[in-house]
Amino acid sequence: MSARWHAQLKDPGQLGAWDRTMRAHRHIRRFTQSDLAEARRLLEEAIALDPTNSMALADLAFARHFEAVFGWGDGPAESHLGLGEAARKAVAADDNDAMAHTSLAIFDLFSGRHGDGRRRLLRALDLDPNSVFARGYLGVSYAFTGDYELALQHCDHAIRLSPRDSLLIIWHLCKGWAALLSERDQEAIEFTTEAVAANPEFPDNYAVLAAAHGHLGNRGEARTALNEFMRRSPVLTAADERLNRPFGTSALRERFLEGLRLAGLPNG
């Protein structure tokens, strides 16, 4: 929570915004379509009560991000733009808020600007060296550029900082992404199995498992994982924009898609 929030919690409007933000905070981290929709509703109410609430704006950016990734909002492109808008407002509301800077870094990463995203994540860590959010997303940035060792270093650091955090799912999964994109398919399965244990509803668990099993030739396991993924992302083909992730190169993207094709995903 920012210093400004500490100073204003006795104001009725601030208290109402704070209550909605905290309720939304919990919904987002369940990572289901209905929870994200409820989080977005609560956050929009919180921001209406206090348009300069950097925490609510940053959480709204985070919710819009996952709507974009999984196609659960207004459409991937529209939700991604909503992420950027909310993140920029969060930073404008409080330039010393590490969470706000991390939300804008996510927008940079998923817009293909890895350098900008990493610089902003380092800025967030300067503001709060113990930010699990910023540390973990630094790992995410390296996972999607194929930097296996650095990805694991930062994701493991995030796990050590908060071993019971609801964001554990993302850090374990991004270790899986790092392994998959570095052609360590068995390790990808092992890491992602830990992610499933942390949150079995997160759709990308099954995308990584399907691709890794596909590359290993484990047809039954690959098909089972793909079915779980497609249950959460229906009518999916290899050309679908819901499969866009911040891959550092086209070769890394193709490795992921080829694994899904080997698992049985149609080309489209």
- Segment 244-257, tens digit of pLDDT: 999 999 999 999 99
| Mean pLDDT of the region 54-65 | 96
Sequence letter at residue 5: W
Q: Where are the alpha helices (DSSP H) in 128-147?
A: 132-143
At 137, the pLDDT band (50, 70, 90 cuts) reads: very high
Residues with Cβ < 8 Å from 89, sequence gap 6 or more?
57
Mean per-residue pLDDT, 217-225: 98
**Which pLDDT value is given to residue 12?**
56
Mean pLDDT of all residues in 28-36? 91
Query: Is pLDDT at 9 greater than 60 in this prediction?
Result: no
Determine the pLDDT at residue 11: 61
The backbone region for 113, taken as left when phi is positive above 0, alpha when psi lies in -120 to 50, beta otherwise, is beta
CB atoms within 10 A of CB 196: 20
Q: What are residue 112's phi and psi, to 5 degrees?
A: 85, 10
Measured between alpha carbons, how far is 252 from 215 in angstroms, rounded to an integer?
A: 13
Region 162-182: mean pLDDT is: 95
Q: How confident is the model at residue 13 (pLDDT cuts 50, 70, 90)?
A: low
Side-chain half-sphere CA neighbours of 32 within 13 A: 10
Pick left, alpha or beta for residue 11 (phi over 0 → left; psi -120 to 50 → alpha; otherwise beta).
beta
Instruction: Using pLDDT thresholds of 50, 70 and 90, give the confidence band for residue 14.
Output: confident
- pLDDT at residue 17 tops 90: no
Instruction: List pLDDT tens digits, range 173-196.
Output: 999 999 999 999 999 999 999 999
- Using a pLDDT cut of 90, give the percent of the chain over it: 84
Q: 90 pLDDT exceeds 90?
A: yes
Report, in angstroms and rounded to the nearest whole number, the Rg of the chain calculated over CA atoms: 18
pTM higher than 0.95 for the full model? Answer: no
Question: How far, in Å, CA of 51 to CA of 89, rounded?
Answer: 9
